[in-house]
Amino acid sequence: MVYELRCYTLVPGKMPEYLKAAETIGRPVRGNDYGVNHGYWTAEFGALNQIWHLWKYDSLNERERLRGELAKNKDWTGKYVATIRPWILRQDLRVMNPVVDILPSDGTTGNVYELRIYRTVLGGAQQYAENFKAVRKARDKYSPIWGAWTGELPQPNEWIHLWRYKNLQERFEARAAAMKDPDWQAYLAKGPPLLAEMHSTLLMPTNYSPLK
């Protein structure tokens, strides 16, 4: 099983048009027939005018096959891609290996999601993943992780993790409480020798995102 995380940077001012096209054309055409969509978000803090979406495939070969089939879908290429192409300045994608498989929607809405991407030193992502798995139960007491991965392509030295909160206040409180936990403190102390860069993006669900 592999996941693909895509980020589209849009022409400023085109976000409303893109969201409408994705909701009314793109998502109905694609559905989950060409990979399973788990989330569709807009970025709130940090780099703006960005769309993030998360897909799951059985394997890299299956991803290649399904994307080939999607490219043959005339409604996809002629109606959707042709519409949104002028609004997209840049496309970035990550192919990722699951460490904590993503949780399904529990039916709640109005949540916020924090995507944290850590670039590690050469070979450090796997060790970071092992360290997290050992401390996960301690961290879940404050807010459960919603999914975690190590990078495969194009950057293998990444630790990528997704968190869900009801709001920013819950995020602040959960992180503050976790920082007092001895097990979490011990885990954090192992991090600096493995890390090169750390990035955090707040994601807001679109109204057609499976995770809301």
CA distance 16 to 61: 34
Phi, psi of 122, rounded to the nearest 5 degrees: -55, 120
Is residue 185 predicted with pLDDT exceeding 90?
yes
What pLDDT is stored for residue 106 in this prediction? 87
Across 23-27, average pLDDT: 97
The alpha-helical segments, DSSP class H, found in the chain are 15-21, 27-30, 60-71, 74, 82-84, 124-140, 168-178, 182-189
Domains of the chain by start residue, with CATH: 2-97 (3.30.70.100), 98-205 (3.30.70.100)
CB 115 within 8 A of CB 53: no
Give residue-wise pLDDT tens across range 97-138: 999 988 888 889 999 999 999 999 999 999 999 999 999 999
Is residue 82 predicted with pLDDT exceeding 90?
yes
pTM for the model stands at: 0.94
CB 160 within 8 A of CB 115: yes
CA distance 132 to 188: 9
